């Protein structure tokens, strides 16, 4: 598997690790190969533009795929691809 863009420095807050019960390296890998999970059409269009112009790229995944009410994890690679942050979606 090869990344389709640079992730930069990874930022994974302790709250994310606690909620998931693990470090979400699998989700970061999916993000890096442009498998962005549950994003809207508009977010997909922004990701395409970001991918072509070293702009921001975001992904959204269920915390628990068997329980969508458990919430989501969002992964964002910033403009310039210097940092990738994993956060809980409110």
38-48 pLDDT, tens per residue? 999 999 999 99
- Model confidence at 90: pLDDT above 90: no
In a domain, 65, yes or no: yes
CA atoms of 67 and 19, how far apart (whole Å):
14
Which residues constitute the domain of residue 28? 9-88
In a domain, 23, yes or no: yes
In a domain, 60, yes or no: yes
Whole-number CA gyration radius for the chain: 12
pLDDT, tens digit (0-9, with 9 covering 90-100), for 47-86: 999 999 999 999 999 999 999 899 999 999 999 999 999 9
User: Measured in whole angstroms, how far is the alpha carbon of residue 80 from the centre of its chain?
Assistant: 15
Total number of domains constituting the chain: 1
pLDDT of 4 = 87
pLDDT band at 25 (very low <50, low <70, confident <90, very high): very high
pLDDT of 2 = 75
In a domain, 4, yes or no: no
In a domain, 56, yes or no: yes
Instruction: Kindly report the pTM of this predicted structure.
Output: 0.94
């Amino acid at each position: 598997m090869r990344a389709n863009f640079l992730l930069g420095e990874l930022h994974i807050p302790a709250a994310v690790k606690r909620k998931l019960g693990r470090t979400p390296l699998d989700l970061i890998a999916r993000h890096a190969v442009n498998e962005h999970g549950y994003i809207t059409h508009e977010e997909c269009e922004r990701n395409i533009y970001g991918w072509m112009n070293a702009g921001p790229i975001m992904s959204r995944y269920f915390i628990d795929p068997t329980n969508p009410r458990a919430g989501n994890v969002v992964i964002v690679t910033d403009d310039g691809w210097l940092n990738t942050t994993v956060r809980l979606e409110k």
